[in-house]
Amino acid sequence: MSDLSSIDLSVSWLGQTMPGCLYNASGVWCREEAELEAVRTSAAAAVISKSATLSAREGNPEPRYHRTALGSINSMGLPNHGFAYYLDYARRYDYGCGKPLFLSLSGMTLDDNLIMLRTLAAAGLPAIPEVNLSCPNVPGKPQLGYDFVTTTEALNAFDRAWPGRYGVKLPPYFDPAHFAAMADILNRHPRLAFVTCINSIGNGLVVDVDSESVTIKPKDGLGGLGGDYVLPTALANVREFYRLLPGKDIVGCGGVKSGKEAFMHILAGARAVQVGTCLHHEGPAAFARIAAELAALMLAKGYRSLEAFRGKLRTL
């Protein structure tokens, strides 16, 4: 066969097989239950919820998201309905659909994260936590993933609070010494099964020439960059952690707007691929389009499965 139906985009990881490799990045189409369900019933292969804090948050003042020709800048500030809302969704989630549910957790303190992990563990659900170590948008709260000592303490505590497999969402790193240092920390945690690379590139500044102004209100205009701006940095993080974290899975996130970028992430080593800015702009129909483009690219290259090229990026 040489048609698209012969292309297998399924992904086996975390003890299950999901029907494709694409799902939403936490933060996009996942704050409201209706959005989560729209993702679940689309061509996405999994669902992840908006980063939950223990109590609901309004987030930062508007405008807090701005679209640009190259992507986006945001400083949402973790607006969410609070952990109980997403736990309730997880209790009612249709796990039989074959699409894993990930719950993103972003406690304002370590204790908050531990309470959420323990509560989730007590609920005995198949939902898998992705702990967000990298939100750049809460004024006065640094990104945990840039503080290696605090990250070490947090992961040690997560291991005690949560009995199963889990993942973390990392900020982008920019120096080989930091890749190595973070990998050394992550490798000490066998149940840390996956890392999602990357969150937005934090604290960028987009300037509007006409108004001579910043484009978002929080933090005097500083915000996380997504879209085309971040693709090369995301790929570097995926590739480096793929090489440095044997036995763990890497979820690629950053700059995916077509099958081509999804292919690049998998070539760099990603097990699965999240879509953020493009999903924000296009809605859940993006998953079917990107999956079809990825399948067409694989067909043209003679690859039938993602395993055939995952991590096989060539160097010169």
Contact of 255 with 286, CB cutoff 8 Å: no
Catalytic residue among 135, 197, 253, 278: 135
Tokens read off for 264: 């690049």
What is the nearest approach in angstroms of ligand SIN to the Cβ of residue 106? Answer: 6
- Tell me whether strands 166-170 and 192-197 are parallel, antiparallel or unpaired: parallel
What is the nearest approach in angstroms of ligand SIN to the Cβ of residue 312? Answer: 30
What is the nearest approach in angstroms of ligand SIN to the Cβ of residue 302? Answer: 38
Contact of 132 with 170, CB cutoff 8 Å: no
- Nearest residue (CB) to ligand SIN, 30 versus 117: 30
Burial (CB < 10 A; 0-12, 13-18, 19+), residue 47, is: buried
- Nearest residue (CB) to ligand SIN, 79 versus 311: 79
Q: State the residues that interact with ligand SIN by CB under 6 A.
A: 27, 51, 76-78, 132, 134-137, 199-200, 224
**Alpha helices, H only, 193-312:** 231-244, 259-267, 277-282, 285-301
State the Cα–Cα distance between residues 7 and 13, nearest whole angstrom: 18
- Nearest residue (CB) to ligand SIN, 197 versus 266: 197
- Nearest residue (CB) to ligand SIN, 75 versus 266: 75
What is the nearest approach in angstroms of ligand SIN to the Cβ of residue 310? Answer: 26
State the Cα–Cα distance between residues 51 and 196, nearest whole angstrom: 13
Amino acid at 78: L
Peptide bond into 136 cis (omega under 30): no
- Nearest residue (CB) to ligand SIN, 77 versus 172: 77
Is 278 labeled as catalytic in the residue annotation? no
**Alpha helices, H only, 41-82:** none
Buried b (16+ CB within 10 A) or exposed e, 89-105: bbeebeeeeebbbbbbb
What is the nearest approach in angstroms of ligand SIN to the Cβ of residue 193? Answer: 20
Catalytic residues: 135
